[in-house]
Amino acid sequence: MFSSQSSKPDPLSDVLSLLKPRTFMSGGVDHGGAWSVGFGAHEGLKFHAIISGSCWLAVDGVEPVRLNAGDSYLLPLGRPFRIASDLALPPIDPHIFMTSPLNGAIRTLNGGGDCLTIGGHFAFEGRHAEILLGMLPPIVLLREAADKAAMRWSVERLMQELREPQPGGTLIAQQLAQMMLVQALRQHLKERAHGGVGWLFALADRRMSAAITAMHGEPAKRWTIEGLASIAGMSRSSFAARFRRTVGASPMDYLTRWRMMLAADRLANSGDPIAKLAQATGYESESAFSTAFKRVIGCAPRRYGSRANAASSLPIGLVGD
């Protein structure tokens, strides 16, 4: 689980800690000759790195992208996609040459030798994946040298853990998957810092980030617009307008939803009584907390808690995502 290692809260780590990503497949394919492989819709997030050669990537609804050795990409929205030497070729089903889970192995298509890709697919145990994935584009490309090096190292290390199982390997694989996700989010945030709307992009704004960090650090505090504006070093009216423009919601709406996300996670994992959750999220009474929880989550806290282990999840997210 992600958690801040210093006394200063880290909003991105806070949110990631609720997602609880887990890796369940990783491996590579060595492509040769003329080829085209089609993949259906998927849950969770897929990632690939081009180790050698080049290929095309075509995701439904997006202009095709040419990829070269060293490039990496993530597919966060689960859309069907194709990778190919030539997009005019009819795609084949990957199960034709991947008849069993890769588990770190390298499969060969058409004899290999032209384009080697490695990557994987991980899902989320947490119930809040849409907090992040829903605000990302269909393709997140990593093409800067530092980002490519970090992603390739992580993917190759993950493959080694799966290919050569050792004690503690599952935990290392989980952490590597988290590292790749953070690396991609950092790059996307850097590229969209001045154009995106949502809590993630607001973290690139020093003043808005200070206010969000304060709310994450003390979710039970009786925050006011004036108090948050002071932390941001702005007037009340200027802060409120800028927060809404940047985050896509008012400061108090953001705070309420963050509190309810924390409460939902505690309901699913801790078994804490409603009264304790109310106090921990800044509510003086259980009834006030329950009213807010139902408004944000869509059901009463007790019902949510009783369904926490059910097959169907109850997706929620921060406003503006």
Burial class (CB in 10 A: 0-12, 13-18, 19+), 193: middle
Domain spanning 200-306, CATH architecture: Orthogonal Bundle (1.10)
Write out the residue limits of the CATH 1.10.10.60 domain(s) in the chain. Answer: 200-306
**Dist. CA 214–CA 39, nearest whole Å:** 42
Sheet strand arrangement including 36-39? 36-39, 81-84, 54-59, 65-68
Please report the DSSP string for 156-197 in residue order. HHHHHHHHS--TTHHHHHHHHHHHHHHHHHHHHHHHHTTT--
**Dist. CA 116–CA 243, nearest whole Å:** 45
pLDDT tens digits, residue range 221-264?
Answer: 999 999 999 999 999 999 999 999 999 899 999 999 999 999 99
**Residue 86: helix, strand or coil by DSSP?**
coil
Question: pLDDT band at residue 159, thresholds of 50, 70 and 90?
Answer: confident
Q: What is the mean pLDDT of the chain?
A: 85
Q: Which class in CATH covers the domain with range 11-192? A: mainly beta
pLDDT tens digits, residue range 67-76?
Answer: 999 898 989 8
- pLDDT surpasses 60 at 2: no
Please report the DSSP string for 9-65 in residue order. --HHHHHHHHH-EEEEEEEEEEE-SS-EEEE---SSEEEEEEEESEEEEEETTS--E
- Torsion angle of the four alpha carbons 41, 16, 317, 64, in this order, in degrees rounded to the nearest 10: -30
pLDDT tens digits, residue range 278-303?
Answer: 999 999 999 999 999 999 988 999 88
Write out the residue limits of the CATH 2.60.120.280 domain(s) in the chain. Answer: 11-192
pLDDT tens digits, residue range 34-53?
Answer: 999 999 998 888 988 898 99
pTM for the model: 0.72
Q: What number of residues does the chain have?
A: 321
Question: pLDDT band at residue 5, thresholds of 50, 70 and 90?
Answer: very low
